[in-house]
Amino acid sequence: MGFLLPTFDEATERRFDVWRASRLNDALLAPVAIGGLAMFSFLAWDWLLDPTQFLACLLIRGTGTIIMMACAWKLLRTRATPLQLRWLGMLAVSAGTVSIALTQFLLQDGFLYGPAGLALFPTVSAVVVTRARQVPLLNLPGFAVVVALLLLKGVEGFALFNVIAFVGTGVFASGILALALERTARCGFQLELRLEEQAHIDPLTGIANRRRLEQEARDEVERARRFNRPLSLMIMDLDHFKGVNDRYGHPFGDKVLRTLADLGRANLRQTDLFARVGGEEFVVLMPETTAEAAAQLGERLRGLLAATPINDGEHVVTVTVSAGIAAHGPDAPTMEALMAMADKALYEAKAQGRDRVVIGPGGVG
């Protein structure tokens, strides 16, 4: 069914399952509880069809209702994982289908007059699955019990056809409904992913913004602390950028920013995070990197930018960049401390004449 549905990579598919399960967890409490009560209310139908079996039907429907209410209680009290939600859904749907099938088995001509009831829970099973392909599996226990009871009862002819037609129609309708619901959910999730990406991307340069940097930096700092691994941070600031803007105009200044962003994208490693955090200020977060290795990378970017004339058709200008580097350690144990130390190093680079890379307060790379 992939051709009918938006698809994602493996990691994003797992995120989708968790995302969908979270929303189903909130939405299923009322339907499961109401379904249990609705099934119990059909005791009136049992009485009208065969009063002699009322107590047995009361026991069967009461047990099914209790199981479904227990599922609803579980949904209320806990946040179910996708796998837990699948088992809860199977239990609730099976309890409903089996309860109805057992009462019809006991009642005289129950399978003849009540097959529509057997289609109820297979049909609504569409709302309790995270994926449409789970519908047949979800209904398998209930369907197996229905088949077993039909064989025990010796149902044949029109009554047998009627039951199979209603149950099959219920499962088929559930599959179609589940497919539509999954498609809607996937489109909604896809939109959230786009909005999430936009919230973490600098619109001018297309690289990460300050929000994403802060989120990922805290995780990397914690990882470096926990496993005693190297981590470096570099702040880069374009030299005399205000003068470039004033002399050549803001569109040219934007081209300068995009040029540095493109050079960073092309030359940084996949594990590095490159972000624009202010007007002409950029940050590179480098896991598993010592200050010396970070300085080498900074020198490379600095040299590439200095050797890249920026041409907008009217002007050809060469710009430079200064950089300050800080390494995670006792003197910089947090994201804030890393930024402050790198900022001091950047200030030192500016003070020494710009167009250079400085490691730590006072140390020249």
Most confident among 95-104, 159-168, 197-206 (mean pLDDT):
95-104
- What is the pLDDT confidence band of residue 364, given thresholds at 50, 70 and 90? very low
- What is the pLDDT confidence band of residue 362, given thresholds at 50, 70 and 90? very low
Q: Could you identify the residue written with the tokens 């398998």?
A: 140
Per the model's pLDDT, the better-predicted residue between 103 and 114 turns out to be 103
Measure the CA–CA gap between 286 and 275, rounded to whole angstroms.
12
Q: Average pLDDT for residues 32-48, to the nearest whole number?
A: 90
- What is the pLDDT confidence band of residue 25, given thresholds at 50, 70 and 90? confident
Token duo for residue 131 = 């994926």
Q: Average pLDDT for residues 209-235, to the nearest whole number?
A: 93
Average pLDDT, the chain: 90
Residue 159 pLDDT > 50:
yes
Residue 325 pLDDT > 60:
yes
Q: Which residues contact 296 (CB under 8 A, 6 or more apart)?
A: none
Burial status of residue 158 (CB atoms within 10 A of its CB: 0-12, 13-18, 19 or more): exposed
pLDDT, tens only, 134-157: 999 999 999 999 999 999 999 888
Residue 34 pLDDT > 80:
yes
Lowest mean pLDDT among 2-16, 202-216, 291-305: 2-16
Token duo for residue 241 = 């950028």
Burial status of residue 10 (CB atoms within 10 A of its CB: 0-12, 13-18, 19 or more): exposed
Whole-model pTM over 0.85: no
Q: Which residues contact 287 (CB under 8 A, 6 or more apart)?
A: 220, 223, 224, 229, 230, 231, 271, 272
pLDDT at residue 76, as a whole number = 87
The rounded percent of the chain whose pLDDT value lies above 70 is: 98
State the helix-helix crossing angle for 29-41 and 115-124, rounded to 10 degrees.
170
Phi-psi region of 353 (alpha: psi -120 to 50; beta: other; left: phi over 0): left
Measure the CA–CA gap between 333 and 312, rounded to whole angstroms.
43
Catalytic residues: 280
